[in-house]
A and B are shown apart, each in its own frame.
Chain A
Amino acid sequence: MFESLKGFGVTFGTMFKKVVTEEYPEVKKVTAPRFHGRHQLNRHPDGLEKCVGCELCAWACPADAIFVEGGDNTEEARYSPGERYGMDYQINYLRCIGCGLCIEACPTRSLTMTNEYELADDNRQDLIFTKEDLLAPLLPGMEQPPHPMRLGNNETDYYVNGPQLAKEAGQ
């Protein structure tokens, strides 16, 4: 008799507590700022890719989720400052455990993580994100590669004075 009253008491008490139910997907939850979400391949201010295809992310990955193949920039088709760019870049989100070691490994800060967490699908193919899916969107002032280096004469200009040169170029 006393036990059942105690039980109802819990129900009654809960009515005055804060609701924990998420209204997902109507209301999307804002994550912590450093939440490990989907990866992004960043660009230089003129739109060239930061990725140099070095595969250090693939090397660091404990889940073997990343595949990279480098390529050779030519004068006709330039995707990144310097000699080398990431010709093929794939992340398999069925394998990725979101640990972020790839981000730490990246020598050019090309690879970072966004807060996007909606990474579910009903087939394997769509969960292997390719370079097109991962590249950061073109911001104003950016130009879709391939194109020549707009901010300097060589990669050193990009790495050492990138933001400064972008400011001067009015971007």
Chain B
Amino acid sequence: MTIAPDKNSTELVVPEGHVKLVIDGVEVVAPKGELLIRTAERLGTVIPRFCDHPLLEPAGACRQCLVEVEMGGRPMPKPQASCTMTVADGMVVKTQLTSPVADKAQQGVMELLLINHPLDCPICDKGGECPLQNQAIAHGRSDSRFHEHKRTFPKPINISTQVLLDRERCVLCQRCTRFSAQIAGDPFIELLERGAQQQIGVAKEKPFQSYFSGNTIQICPVGALTSAAYRFRARPFDLVSTPSVCEHCSSGCAERTDWRRGKVQRKLAGDDPQVNEEWICDKGRFAFRYATADDRITRPMVRDAETGELRESSWTEALQVAAAGLLAARDANGVGVLTGGRLTVEDAYAYSKFARIALHTNDIDFRARPHSAEELEFLSGTTVFTNPDNGVTFQGIESAPAALLVAFEPEEEAPIVFLRLRKSARKGTTKVFHLGQFTTPAVEKTFGTLLACVPGAEANALNALPDHASDVVELLGKPGAVILVGERAAEIPGAFTAVARLAERTGAKVAWIPRRAGERGALAVGATPNLLPGGRHVANTAARTEVERTWGVEEGSLPANPGRDTTGILEAAANGQLSGLVVGGVDPFDLPDPALAEKALAQAGFVVSLELRPSAVTAHADVVLPIAPAVEKSGSYLNWEGRRREFGTTLEGTGALPDCRVLDTLAVEMDADLFTQTPAAAAADLARLGEGAPSGSSLNVAAPLQSPAGAGKAVLATWHRLIGNGSLQVDEPHLAGTARPVVAKVAEATAQQFGLETGGYVTVSTERGAITLPVETDDLPEGVIWLPTNSGDVTVRATLGAGHGSIVSVSGGKS
């Protein structure tokens, strides 16, 4: 029932910290410090604007949002920019709706902006979704009074291989420069010149190098910044926009996927204040053509007994062959399952259940990268039970007094975490400490402090923190402080133990931030050797019984002993202790020992590969089953916070099947029921299981004593770059061009010791092989050399078989 408001109570109550003002004759209460343009927006009055952006600092650059303002009964002499003026008590504001003065001022500004704006809407990528076009049509004049020649610039210029700048179209709103300076911290793009020649530009020979450059394209209110990848591909009215979730890193950013005629044309950042705000990184924005690569596998393939080659087959045949082979292998020595880190929660759940029910094994591991037993202990004891309610979140990072980053390079591994760190560090809220090897761009851009140590000695450094850096420990003791651990910690003995001890001592919350989107989800659904879904330990009889009941399998049928981890599975397959392998989306060259992986794949009696594109795994597989890429299936990811990020199918009706469906059908052939026909069914089946009880972890790995590397040797530091040789970045030449230069980094003293010249080359070698690349000096500890793990010609794991903390031989010049 609606009650008519009492006449006497219409007087607005002004709460503490608020002011009362009048906009267009309507009284409104606004919090102190709010910008006029936002207050008007809350009232439903949209004041036209170009430069204003809620996440950027006010600039008042475009002057489109002029309104008439009266303070204390005295009108201001000129119309004021509502995007820079904050509300004040007793203010009387008249927007274009009620004030002819404001309306005329806005029309004048519009006319001025259009004087030099070219009439190339038909060839402009922004045409159809252009704020300038929309406002010119809504508020502008129908013809121009300016008949002279427009100012022209050569167009367009490449400010990076991906971003194109058309200066004629620019209205100098400075959204791009403000984004780069404030949000991303890559001020490679700036305002140049003065007066009519004022323009956006980059320094000569210095491209717009940023992992976040795509955001400037999205927030550009005109078509001045466009991307080479989407250039001239489509018009907004051709595109169907589907909300989606990024499949690249563990942040789980909200995205909008625009597609046309069954093909993804572009991805834009979605708006999710809890996760990615309105930004995404360039990898998430531009790397999507792997799904339409020419060599994509679309039909099942079976290895022909006679020729030994893979040949296309029907699904029926492929599934029958796979089921028969897996049953035989299971009954021989057993089958191991490697799932990779890119699966949705539902798909990982299907693998987990498939291993337990159809293969009767706990030999399943999602970690297609260096890993350790200590890591597994940490993950299954603590991380698996974290969620946004009890753990670290993006917003938690933003309000943390201190953040200690252990073996974690935020800009390269989880760029949105980096943006949050920078945001709060810039405000002065968070003090950021990086436990790493050298002052990376991320250290500088988060105004951070580097706690440098030799690779592999991170655990010792953490243990020594109370003695050597008591200020850090003190800050971490404040409520809300966080410790962020990266996937590289698995390569450092004792790191997780040291982190857990430090967290216990200080009370700081710990978050594990893996690189891949599916790792946290795979952990939650038990795609690990020691866990069942929901964090239940396999050795726990009560937990096992609970799962057996829910799954409707015979009691006591689930294997009770923890299985082998990735390396264990590969070793067992290589020496015949395992007869078969089921591999889904694993690149053997990401594994700690690619040679062992190759050997295992070749030696294993029967290999089933669920893959998108031909790989080193399909080369050895007996049966290859094609599966759907993220855009062709629905599902969800669990991001590093433990937040469920659901997404629907973007491209319907392609016929591609998600892993969970393929495994369900394969299991039926093997006489087992997974009930994961669709992602929705898998999710429902998983939801019935719920979460188990934490069993606690007993981390006790001692940090090793570092021995000197020896003459001619150095300790290798290495981590993955955001843009490199990743298998989801194929077919993206424009994106690849924005990758950081591939160089090795050493300290000045180390360079002298090995006789390396700046600008020269260095050869890094192990008994497996050698890599030669340019070398630069930086502030690394002595006797340490840093290489990107997998960028360009530098493939540390494949060529050297080495990792973070390995000892490598170093020599100057080309070998």
Contact = CB atoms under 8 A, between A and B. Distances in A.
A52 B234 contact: no
B693 interface: no
B813 interface: no
A70 B235 CA distance: 9
Report whether over half of chain B's contact residues are helix, strand or loop; otherwise say mixed.
Answer: loop
B231 interface: yes
Given A52-B122, A54-B122, A107-B122, 11 more contacts: A53-B232, A55-B238, A59-B235, A70-B123, A70-B232, A71-B232, A72-B231, A72-B232, A83-B155, A83-B156, A83-B232
Contacts of A82: 123
Contacts of A59: 128, 235, 237
Interface string B29-72: 00000000000000000000000000000000000000000000
A128 interface: no
Interface string B221-261: 00000000001111101100000000000000000000000
B233 A54 contact: no
A83 B158 CA distance: 13
B692 interface: no
A82 B122 CA distance: 12
Contact of A84 (B128, B232, B234, B238): B232
18 contacts: A53-B123, A54-B123, A55-B235, A55-B238, A56-B122, A58-B238, A59-B128, A59-B235, A69-B233, A69-B234, A70-B123, A70-B232, A72-B231, A82-B123, A83-B123, A83-B232, A84-B232, A108-B122
A56 B238 CA distance: 11
A55 B237 CA distance: 10
Contacts of B237: 59
B123 A84 contact: yes
Interface string A89-114: 00000000000000000011000000
A80 to B, nearest CB: 10
B123 A52 contact: yes
A88 to B, nearest CB: 10
| Nearest 4 A/B pairs, CB to CB | A70-B232, A54-B122, A84-B123, A107-B122
Interface of A: 52-56, 58-59, 69-72, 82-84, 87, 107-108
Interface in B687-728: none
Interface centre among B128, B231, B232, B233 (most CB of A within 10 A): B232
Nearest to B152: A156
A54 B156 contact: no
B123 to A, nearest CB: 4
Interface centre among A52, A53, A84, A87 (most CB of B within 10 A): A84
B388 interface: no
B127 interface: yes
Interface residues on B, range: 10 to 19
Interface centre among A52, A72, A83, A87 (most CB of B within 10 A): A83
Interface in B189-207: none
B127 A70 contact: no
A49 B235 CA distance: 20
Interface in B72-129: 122-123, 127-128
B234 A54 contact: no
Interface string B140-164: 0000000000000001100000000
A59 B123 CA distance: 14
Contacts of A69: 233-234
Contact of A70 (B128, B155, B156, B233): B233
Nearest to B231: A72
Interface centre among B122, B127, B156, B231 (most CB of A within 10 A): B122
Contacts of B233: 69-70
Contacts of B238: 55, 58
A91 B235 CA distance: 17
B352 to A, nearest CB: 43
Nearest to A73: B232
A87 B123 CA distance: 13
A105 B141 CA distance: 20
A104 B156 CA distance: 29
Contacts of A84: 123, 232
A70 B238 CA distance: 12
Contacts of A83: 123, 155-156, 232
Nearest to A85: B232
A69 B239 CA distance: 12
Contacts of A56: 122
B451 to A, nearest CB: 48
A93 B718 CA distance: 60
Contacts of A58: 235, 238
A130 B540 CA distance: 67
B187 to A, nearest CB: 28
Nearest to A55: B235
A99 B123 CA distance: 24
A83 B164 CA distance: 12
A72 B156 CA distance: 12
Contacts of A72: 231-232
B127 A54 contact: yes
A72 B235 CA distance: 14
B733 to A, nearest CB: 13
Contacts of A107: 122
Nearest to A156: B152
A82 B231 CA distance: 14
Contacts of A87: 232
B127 to A, nearest CB: 7
A113 to B, nearest CB: 20
Contacts of A55: 235, 238
A52 B235 CA distance: 13
Contacts of A54: 122-123, 127
A104 to B, nearest CB: 14
A56 B236 CA distance: 12
A107 B235 CA distance: 16
Contacts of B232: 53, 70-72, 83-84, 87
B477 to A, nearest CB: 57
Nearest to A54: B122
Interface string B370-404: 00000000000000000000000000000000000
A107 B127 CA distance: 13
B529 to A, nearest CB: 50
